Chain A
């Protein structure tokens, strides 16, 4: 069960619209390393994770990613609020606008729609956690790329917050991987899947 709280995890109050920038930041909503993929990745991986502590990390980070999805959606929404047709045509936002008007839809900056193939749920704790660590780094790199293009403080500020959270999550997933590795005994030297019955018996 999830419960909605009527506040952003980090506030967003953008005063100047900027559809060109919205087009880029949108990638962190529904792009390959975006917040939607992050949340769905962790919340999907929880079930086959045999260690309760690590399932807890996946649940809590997966939940925080939903809050980040809301922050990114808010940034894109405020950057494109009340645009005129002239502003839309001049900024290159027209290709998005024709299909979605000013609605928020999960896609990459290049227009590729969100796809569950952007993440894995492999049913193998080591495989999944190594993916999760990579995912946090990829999202951090994306925020670095965005920050090089943003000069408006109102936009930079929440983006910097989101970037810092990627670093913290990377750290927590690293600790989760260590917890899993400590559970493997000497017979499972090659770290074959500790969550799958046929492998456990070996």
Chain B
């Protein structure tokens, strides 16, 4: 079943954070096999989620903007906007 936007974003945040944290650990423990495997696994998970999100809701990175007739990068909400009206 396809995930909704909020859930997909949440999963992307989780996989990205797993990589952010493991990256720092690997910087000072570059030969740790468990950390290397973890980073590789999370990288694959994240890649799949980002592709799914980009296809459904638009790019998270401007490098992934596929130029059609309109420039849509600036139409989506910015992350600081939040829910408070």
Task: Judge whether A168 and B24 touch: CB under 8 Å.
Answer: yes
- Contact check, A61 vs B62: say whether CB atoms are below 8 A apart: no
B85 to chain A, nearest CB (A): 7
* Residue numbers in B under 8 Å from A110 (CB-CB): none
Most chain B beta-carbon contacts within 10 A, residue among A3, A4, A5, A8: A5
Q: Which residue of A lies closest to B63 (CB)?
A: A3
Interface contact A53-B24, CB-CB below 8 Å: no
Is the CB–CB distance between B60 and A172 below 8 Å?
no
Q: Which residues of B contact A16 (CB under 8 A)?
A: 84
Q: Name the B residues within 8 Å of A81 (CB-CB).
A: 82, 84-85
CB distance from A176 to the nearest CB of B (A): 6
CA distance A172 to B84 in the complex (A): 36
Q: Are A175 and B61 in contact, with the CB atoms below 8 A?
A: no
A60 touches B24 (CB 8 A): yes
**Which has the most chain B C-beta neighbours within 10 Å: A3, A12, A61, A70?**
A12
Most buried by B among A6, A15, A70, A81: A6
* Interface pick from A72-80, A133-141, A188-196: A72-80
Taking the complex as formed, is A127 at the interface, i.e. its CB lies under 8 A from any CB of chain B? Answer: no
Q: Any chain A CB within 8 A of the CB of B12?
A: yes
Mark interface residues in A165-179 (1 if CB within 8 Å of B CB, else 0): 000110010011001
Q: How far is the CB of A70 from chain B (nearest CB, A)?
A: 7
B82 in complex: contacting residue of A9, A12, A57, CB < 8 Å:
A12
Complex CA distance for A78 and B59, rounded to whole angstroms = 24
Q: Which of B21, B25, B27 contacts A53 (CB 8 A)?
A: B27
Q: Chain A residues with Cβ under 8 A from B84's Cβ?
A: 13-17, 78, 81
B69: Cβ under 8 A from any A Cβ:
no
Flag if A9 contacts B83 (CB, 8 Å). Answer: no
The interface residues of chain B lying within 8 Å CB-to-CB of A11 are 9-10, 13
Residues of A within 8 A of B85 (CB): 81-82
Sample (15) of A-B pairs whose CB atoms are under 8 Å apart:
A3-B62, A6-B59, A7-B9, A7-B13, A7-B60, A9-B16, A9-B17, A13-B82, A14-B82, A15-B83, A17-B84, A53-B30, A169-B24, A172-B24, A176-B28
- B interface with A by C-beta (< 8 Å): 9-10, 12-13, 16-17, 20-21, 23-25, 27-30, 59-63, 76, 78-80, 82-85
By a beta-carbon cutoff of 8 Å, the part of chain A in contact with chain B is 3-17, 53, 56-57, 60-61, 64, 70, 73-74, 77-78, 81-82, 168-169, 172, 175-176, 179
